[in-house]
Amino acid sequence: MREYEITSIILEGQTSVIDDTKQNIKDILSKNSAEVTAEEDWGSKKLWYLIKGHENGHFSYLKCKAEPKSIEKIEHEFYLNQNILKTSIIKI
């Protein structure tokens, strides 16, 4: 297993939507056999440029361990979630 850093920009809105989306991210990771080792909530910030027409986003940071094969599936599921504006997955 390799270690990865995942930074996600979540559609800003009600706290319940943000919390549900963060839980959905963790569910996607666990479904694909990734183990979350650390989590940080960076809060809402103004974006440097519009992403899907939005000026603000809520940032979530996770460290996890996963097999390289599962990362492609994880990225695809993040892409399908409408509440996730953008995601960056970096191998440590």
Q: How many CB atoms lie within 10 A of CB 82?
A: 9
Cβ atoms 22, 11 nearer than 8 A: no
Q: pLDDT at position 14, please?
A: 86
**What are the extents of the domains in the chain?**
2-91
Q: Which CATH class is domain 2-91?
A: alpha beta
pTM of the model: 0.89
Cβ atoms 42, 12 nearer than 8 A: no
Q: What is the pLDDT of residues 58-81, one digit of tens each?
A: 999 999 999 999 999 999 999 999
Q: pLDDT at position 13, please?
A: 83
Q: What is the pLDDT of residues 11-51, one digit of tens each?
A: 998 888 999 999 999 999 999 999 999 999 999 999 999 99
Q: How many CB atoms lie within 10 A of CB 62?
A: 20
Which is nearest to 9 in space by CA: 85, 89, 88?
Answer: 85
**Angstrom distances, CA of residue 16 to CA of 6, 11, 20, 23, 83:** 21, 12, 6, 10, 12
